[in-house]
Amino acid sequence: MKIISGTAHRALAEKIADTLGQPLADVQVDAFPDGETAVKINENVRGEDIFIIQPSCPPTNHNIMELLILVDAARRASAERITAVMPFFGYARQDRKDQPRVPITAKLVANLLTSAGVNRVLTMDLHAPQIQGFFDIPVDHLYAKPALIGYLRERHPDTTNLTVVSPDVGGVKMARAYADALGAELAIVAKHRISATRVEAMNVIGDVNGRDVLLVDDMTETAGTLCAAAEILHKHGAKRIFAGVSHAIISDLANERLAKSHIEEVITTDSVPQAHGPKVQAVSVAPLLGEAIRRINGGQSVTSLFSV
C-alpha cells in the first residue's frame, strides 16, 4: 500500500498516514510558470495499492485537476489499484437538472475520475447520497457522525434538554440519526432560499422553547442557512444554540455571520483545510478514514463504518 497526498489537504493526509503507521509516498507536485500542474512520483509504485488523498475543496477546479493528474501518473507507473480518497466531494450540489440548460456536474466529475483511471472512491457525507450511483466503480460512502458524536457527548453529557434541529426539510434523515444517537428530541426549520448566499428561514416545526439546540447539516460555506435558522430558533425560545456540520468550508463571510449570530460553536470535521474560525471546533476524521483504507487494502468489510 502507498499513501499519496495532493496539495489540497496535506495536514489531513499526514494524520491518516500516522494512523496507518506508514509515511506518505514521495511525490513531487509543482506548477509550471503558466499554471499547469506538474507531478512526479519519486518511488516505485508498480503493483501497489494506491490511495490518493485529495478533497475537492476550494480551489475546487485546481484540486480536481491535480487529482486527475496524480491518478494518471500512478496508472502509467503500473499501480495495481487506485483509490481516490475524497473526504469532501465538490460539485455534489450540482446533482440534477433543476433548471433548463444546466449541467449535472457531479456526474461529469464522476466520469472524469473513472476515465482517468480511478478504481474506487472513498468519500464522506455526500451532499446528495445518490451521487454514488453516478459511478460505475465501487464507492465507499462514510459518515462523519461517529467522529462528531464523541465530542458532542462530551459537550452535552446531559441530553435530556437537547433538541437536534434540521435547518431544512432535506436534512431530516441526518438530523434524526443524530437525535437517535444522542437520545435527543427532533425539530425542523422550514426555510426559503433567496439566492446562493441569502436564506430566509420561515418557521419551526417542533418545540425548542427553553431547550439547548444542535443544528445539524452536511456542509456550510457562507453560514447563511445556519445563521438564519439560529435566528428563528432564538425567537422561538431556544436556550443555547450549537451547530454540527460535516464539512465546513468556512469563508470570511461565514466567520462574520457566525460572529454576529446566536450560534455558540460550530462543531465540524477536518475534511477540508478551511474548517477553522473563532467559533469553529474541528474534530479529526483521520482515524475513520485510516481504518477504511486499512480495511479496503486488506479486502475486509467496511460496512460497520457506514453507521449513520
| Residue 167 predicted with pLDDT over 80 | yes
**50 and 157 together in one domain:** no
Predicted confidence band of residue 137 (pLDDT cuts 50, 70, 90) = very high
Average pLDDT over residues 203-221: 92
Domain of 195, CATH number, reads 3.40.50.2020
**127 and 155 together in one domain:** no
Predicted confidence band of residue 83 (pLDDT cuts 50, 70, 90) = very high
Looking at residue 100, its pLDDT comes to 94
What residues form DSSP beta bridges with 49?
81
Average pLDDT over residues 199-226: 87
Distances (CA, A) of 145 to 151, 257, 289, 299: 10, 25, 13, 24
Average pLDDT over residues 51-56: 98
282: CB partners within 8 A, 6+ apart: 248, 268, 269, 270, 275, 276
**123 and 24 together in one domain:** yes
Where residue 21 falls (left for φ over 0; alpha for ψ -120 to 50; beta otherwise) is left
**139 and 212 together in one domain:** no
Count up the domains in the chain and report the number. Answer: 2
Cis peptide upstream of residue 59 (ω within 30 degrees of 0): yes
- When the pLDDT of each residue in the chain is averaged and rounded to a whole number, the result is 92
Q: Looking at 191, 235, 260, 279, which residue is catalytic? A: 191
**219 and 182 together in one domain:** yes
Predicted confidence band of residue 199 (pLDDT cuts 50, 70, 90) = low
**194 and 225 together in one domain:** yes
DSSP H helices in 5-137: 10-20, 60-76, 105-116
**110 and 243 together in one domain:** no
Contact 89, 46 (CB under 8 A): no
- Please confirm, yes or no, whether 2 is among the known catalytic residues: no
Average pLDDT over residues 57-75: 97
Q: How far apart are CA 184 and CA 159, in angstroms?
A: 6
**126 and 157 together in one domain:** no
Looking at residue 193, its pLDDT comes to 62
Residue 285: CB atoms within 10 A of its CB come to 26
Nearest in space to 113 (alpha carbons), one of 153, 79, 86, 147: 86
**132 and 159 together in one domain:** no
Looking at residue 56, its pLDDT comes to 97
Average pLDDT over residues 188-193: 76
Predicted confidence band of residue 24 (pLDDT cuts 50, 70, 90) = very high
Predicted confidence band of residue 200 (pLDDT cuts 50, 70, 90) = low
| Residue 155 predicted with pLDDT over 90 | no
Residue 266: CB atoms within 10 A of its CB come to 27
Average pLDDT over residues 119-123: 97
Looking at residue 72, its pLDDT comes to 98
For 147, the grid coordinates are: 467522529
Of 121 and 189, the one with more pLDDT: 121
| Residue 201 predicted with pLDDT over 60 | no
Q: Structure pTM?
A: 0.91
- Provide the residue range defining the domain that includes 11: 2-143+286-306
| Residue 194 predicted with pLDDT over 90 | no
Q: How far apart are CA 130 and CA 140, in angstroms?
A: 12
For 300, the grid coordinates are: 475486509
**30 and 116 together in one domain:** yes
| Residue 129 predicted with pLDDT over 90 | no
Predicted confidence band of residue 196 (pLDDT cuts 50, 70, 90) = low
**182 and 101 together in one domain:** no
| Residue 48 predicted with pLDDT over 90 | yes
Looking at residue 176, its pLDDT comes to 93
Average pLDDT over residues 184-198: 76
Pairing of strands 185-193, 162-166: parallel
**153 and 89 together in one domain:** no
Nearest in space to 49 (alpha carbons), one of 80, 27, 84: 80
Looking at residue 197, its pLDDT comes to 60
**In the chain, what percentage of residues exceed pLDDT 90?**
80
Secondary structure (3-state) at 203? strand
| Residue 308 predicted with pLDDT over 70 | no
